[in-house]
Structure 1
Amino acid sequence: MTASALTDAKLVRALSDEFLSRRVDYNALERLHHGDVADWAAAASRFAALSDEEERHLALRWRDNPRELLDILLARADEVTARRCRTAWVSLDRFAPFVRASNGP
């Protein structure tokens, strides 16, 4: 299986179920927004039997576009949970320029 298998329903279900198996952790959501996706790429790699290279490619892809991973993680969420997470995400989007500015060049 390759990184392109992200559309595979079983992989999406597995990652989404893992994310939703406990109460939504907004700190984890913030880390995801900042591109901290290594744990999720490793989980996808274990589930889909990806090579090290495919896992690295997936981690880079999600780091550059963490919203793609958020959509996968929320694939099986109920409407209220999905709305809460997406609202929190929009808030993080709004504050991201300030966070980057405060961290310096």
Structure 2
Amino acid sequence: MTASVLSDARLVRALSDEFLSRRVDYKALESLHRGNVADWAAAASRFAALSDEEERQLALRWEGNPRELLDILLACADEVTARRCRTAWVSLDRFAPFVRASSGP
């Protein structure tokens, strides 16, 4: 069911509208990039009436591929906002290996 939920245009619009209504900044993107997706999975669960297991599976999916969530959150963004966020995301992709290495085991 999780995959079909993600194709629900109403859910995508609701999550995107929620994301864009907040201040979209580097820290928000950085948090998403690190895989902090639980709040978004919970929001999707509330909107789509997912079971606890479906919410957990969705969170795991987005933790493993946070870019998928970013694309959903930017679905309703204007071109400038989407470009700015995706450019920042690419910077985070490039910087992430250094952050992990400096964090230690």
Residue of structure 1 in register with 2:28 after alignment = 28
In the other structure, the counterpart of 1:12 is 12
Deviation at 1:87, TM superposition (A): 0.5
For structure 1, which segment, 77-86 or 24-33, has the greater mean C-alpha deviation from structure 2 after superposition? 24-33
Match of 1:42 in 2: 42
Aligned-pair identity in percent equals: 86
1:16-95 equivalences under 5 Å are 16-95=16-95
Distance of 1:82 and 1:92 partners within structure 2: 15
> What is the TM-score when the length of structure 1 is the normalising length?
0.96
The equivalent residue for 2:98 is 98
Q: Kindly provide the amino acid, as one letter, of the partner of residue 25 in structure 2.
A: D
Give the CA deviation at 1:25: 2.6
Deviating beyond 6 angstroms after TM superposition, the runs of 4 or more aligned structure 1 residues are none
Taking structure 2 as the reference length, the TM-score comes to 0.96
The number of equivalent residue pairs is 104
The unaligned stretches of length 5 or more in structure 1 are: none
Q: Is 1:3 aligned to residue 17 of structure 2? A: no
CA deviation after TM superposition for structure 1 residue 26, in Å:
1.8
SS in 1 for 2:58: helix
Aligned-pair CA distance for 1:57: 0.1
CA RMSD of aligned residues (A): 0.8
